[in-house]
Amino acid sequence: MSAARLSLAALLGALTAAPAGAQQAPLALVLRDAPAPIDPAEVRDALADALGAPVALVTGEDDAPSPRLEVTQIEAQLVLRYDSARGRLERTTPAPSDPGEWQVVVALLGASLVRDESEALLSGLAPPAPPPAPEAPRAPSSPRPRPERPHLEVGLDLFPGAGFSSVYGGRERRNFSLGVLGDLYGGLEGYAFGGLLTAGGDVVGVQQSVGVTAAESVDGAQLGVVNVAAREVAGAQIGFINVAGGPVRGLQLGLVNVAESAEAGIGILNFYARGRTQVEVTGDSAGSFRVAVKHGSGPWHTLYSLGVNPFYGETAFLAGIGCGGRATLHELVFLDVDVFTHYTFDTRVQIGVSFITGARVLVGLRPDPAFAVVLGLGLEVHNTSDPTTPLYAPVLGTVLDFDVRLWPTLVLGVQVF
């Protein structure tokens, strides 16, 4: 006997051991289209053993009494229908190919239908626990009131954490703050000076230091070597390094400026996350070709450029920096005004240094958001301490031992955005 047949026989034995329930009349068994090797009498006996009740084999299907179990094999499917006073139950299962297993499956499923075990199983189970009642909405809790910051007209510190800041934990608001080496406060509405560091929360007024100024936000000015605001600045940051975590609605003036954006940023190195950047390639009537990068925020920008002039006997190379502003005249037209200075690398300059300072006014036509054509005029001044340098123009005069040459230029180029 196969393993499947053994398993089915074990299940059949379990059903046989179960109580049959009250069966008032013999069950009528009708077999339709059973495979040839199947013995209907053995099927009847197996079903009777499974039910523990008499089963009558009926050959006249149409007159079979109720309750009645009809077993039909349709191709590879075995269909069992049980009719009783409560109605009809039906199950379909793949038909086993082995005659012994076929007999066991009919007895097993037939007994299950007669007993309506699915209903008995469900009725024997405890009813499912009702879903939990929805939790009543909680009334919004009122925010915990923030403790009032102490307010001081004057606060003094030797250094942050030593002085008034140690008494009040650096939470107090001050109108005037003075730190010998530095001071610390929770807010400022007035003026603060710290020797190496002045640091506070929101500042309305002026922070000043010969070292670092630091605040959460600034509505006023920060004046130090390094100025830092964690959020926005409304006013000015003036120092060597200026950093704002948000926008600057005002001026950043320094060697290095960093912010989300700025209305006016003037420095050697500017980094604005929401700024504008253009690459400009130009040539002029003096024979110079230059590539510049313009980066800034708002109307102001800084430019960094490299250039070459191959038309004066020997090639001269240029490297410089400048600043400028942009006015948008129309959606397609803008005006750039730039001033710059370039150091010249020229082997003909034997004594001292040589540099070119100049200004340009360029009109840009922008037919495409990523491209513009620029045309304008420039004025350049060449200063060199070597009187033998034959560059660009005749000597106009001498200033502080520097020969000065001046010439106008016509400029044509393109910008890529």
Task: Give the lowest-confidence range in 20-29, 190-199, 312-321, 331-340.
Answer: 20-29
Domain annotation covers residue 130:
no
Measured N-to-C along each axis, helices 99-115 and 40-51 cross at an angle, to the nearest 10 degrees, of: 40
Same-domain status, 308 and 248: no
Same-domain status, 60 and 41: yes
- Report how far residue 264's alpha carbon sits from residue 367's, in angstroms, rounded to the nearest whole number: 27
Same-domain status, 166 and 107: no
More confident residue, 343 or 281: 281
307, pLDDT greater than 50: yes
Average pLDDT over residues 246-258: 96
Domain annotation covers residue 129:
no
More confident residue, 353 or 409: 409
Q: How many CB atoms lie within 10 A of CB 17?
A: 8
Q: How confident is the model over 208-251, as pLDDT tens digits?
A: 999 999 999 999 999 999 999 999 999 999 999 999 999 999 99
Same-domain status, 188 and 258: yes
Same-domain status, 290 and 405: yes
Q: What is the CATH number of the domain that holds 324?
A: 2.40.160
Same-domain status, 280 and 409: yes
Same-domain status, 281 and 268: no
Domain annotation covers residue 328:
yes
Q: How confident is the model over 353-374, as pLDDT tens digits?
A: 778 899 999 999 999 999 999 9
Task: Give the per-residue pLDDT at 14.
Answer: 47
Same-domain status, 410 and 286: yes
Share of residues in the chain with pLDDT > 90 (%): 47
Q: What is the CATH number of the domain that holds 59?
A: 3.90.950
- Report how far residue 114's alpha carbon sits from residue 105's, in angstroms, rounded to the nearest whole number: 14
- Report how far residue 267's alpha carbon sits from residue 65's, in angstroms, rounded to the nearest whole number: 105
Domain annotation covers residue 133:
no
Average pLDDT over residues 164-193: 94
DSSP for residue 136: P
Task: Give the per-residue pLDDT at 218.
Answer: 97
Same-domain status, 61 and 98: yes
Task: Give the per-residue pLDDT at 120.
Answer: 45
Task: Give the lowest-confidence range in 126-140, 267-281, 347-361.
Answer: 126-140
DSSP E strands in 160-288: the ranges are 162-163, 173-179, 182-184, 187-194, 197-199, 202-209, 212-215, 217-223, 226-229, 233-238, 241-244, 247-259, 261-272, 276-284
Task: Give the per-residue pLDDT at 125.
Answer: 37
Same-domain status, 401 and 343: yes
- When pLDDT is cut at 50, 70 and 90, the band that residue 298 belongs to is confident
Q: Quick one: CA dihedral 94, 95, 101, 102, positive or negative?
A: positive
More confident residue, 386 or 177: 177
Q: Tokens 């699915």, residue?
A: 118
Domain annotation covers residue 79:
yes
Host domain of residue 87: 3-120
Domain annotation covers residue 243:
yes
Q: How confident is the model over 22-47, as pLDDT tens digits?
A: 445 788 888 887 787 788 888 888 88
Task: Give the per-residue pLDDT at 157.
Answer: 95
Task: Give the per-residue pLDDT at 118.
Answer: 44
Task: Give the per-residue pLDDT at 145.
Answer: 55
Q: How many CB atoms lie within 10 A of CB 315?
A: 12
Domain annotation covers residue 127:
no
Q: How many CB atoms lie within 10 A of CB 236?
A: 21
Task: Give the per-residue pLDDT at 88.
Answer: 82
207, pLDDT greater than 90: yes
Q: How confident is the model over 79-121, as pLDDT tens digits?
A: 888 888 777 888 888 888 787 788 888 888 888 877 765 444 3
- When pLDDT is cut at 50, 70 and 90, the band that residue 199 belongs to is very high
Mean pLDDT of the chain: 83
Same-domain status, 254 and 386: no
CB contact set of 103 (below 8 Å; sequence gap of 6+): 38, 39, 42, 43, 46
Domain annotation covers residue 143:
no
- Which one of 99, 120, 141 terminates a domain? 120
SS3 140: coil
- Alpha-carbon Rg of the chain, whole angstroms? 48
Total domains in the fold of the chain? 3
Same-domain status, 164 and 51: no
